[in-house]
Amino acid sequence: MKQAGTERLSTWDIVHAVDLAITAFVTCTVVTWITPLLMGRPAEPVGILWAVISAVFVFRDTIEQSRSAAISRILATFISFALCQIYLLLFAANSLGLSVLIVIGTLLLMLAGRRNEIGLLAITTAVIMIVAAEHPETARQQPLLRLADTVAGVVVGAVCKWIASALYDRLSGQEPR
């Protein structure tokens, strides 16, 4: 059994760590730059943060693991988006609504056999509803904004992962990750 701290870092480990940092930087930069072009206003910190979280979430050791994480992230976010959008068209954001939406979303994912996405759905729903409650003037926009942030982060994260893996595998002569 290996002792903690005795494992050596491989070249791939270093490439992976640097690529993750680059991914976070690129995601932050892209969202900060593209949001004003699409929305006509500066990017909100919560939007930048949400995109970076999404990029980091899908950034896994292998491309297959990243693909699976991306599907989970998009699925959970889309369900949360739909539930929150319907709720916010009818009611103001509040903690009771947050709780009800988490129950409904959890049951939907259970029925769909996607229990691994329940935590993602709950986190996304909490972010949407808390930001909507904090900014009632833009409450109805929050689900769509967080969906867009998620998609941006997932795309940047997956692309950065794919590029680094492909380059590393080609240069090192290893099998694709």
Domain boundaries, the chain: 13-169
- Give the pLDDT band of residue 39 (cuts 50, 70, 90): confident
What's the rounded Cα separation, in Å, for the pair 175 and 177? 6
Question: Does the structure show a pLDDT above 60 at 52?
Answer: yes
Question: Does the structure show a pLDDT above 90 at 19?
Answer: yes
For residue 151 the two structure tokens come to 């998609």
DSSP conformation letters of 108-167: HHHHTT-GGGHHHHHHHHHHHHHHHHH-GGGGGGHHHHHHHHHHHHHHHHHHHHHHHHHH
Higher pLDDT, residue 96 or 173: 96
What's the rounded Cα separation, in Å, for the pair 5 and 9? 10
What one-character DSSP code corresponds to residue 65?
H
- Give the pLDDT band of residue 140 (cuts 50, 70, 90): very high
Higher pLDDT, residue 45 or 176: 45
What's the rounded Cα separation, in Å, for the pair 86 and 165? 40
How many of the other CB atoms lie within 10 Å of CB of 19? 18
Backbone angles phi, psi at 7, to 5 degrees: -75, 135
- Give the pLDDT band of residue 167 (cuts 50, 70, 90): very high
**Counting Cβ atoms within 10 Å, is residue 9 exposed (0-12), middle (13-18) or buried (19+)?**
exposed
Residue 6: per-residue pLDDT? 67
- The answer to whether 59 and 161 have CB atoms below 8 angstroms apart is yes
- Give the pLDDT band of residue 35 (cuts 50, 70, 90): confident
Mean pLDDT of 95-103: 98
What's the rounded Cα separation, in Å, for the pair 107 and 114? 10
What's the rounded Cα separation, in Å, for the pair 35 and 47? 9
- Give the pLDDT band of residue 162 (cuts 50, 70, 90): very high
- Give the pLDDT band of residue 48 (cuts 50, 70, 90): very high
- The answer to whether 58 and 156 have CB atoms below 8 angstroms apart is no
Mean pLDDT of 37-46: 90
Residue 174: per-residue pLDDT? 83
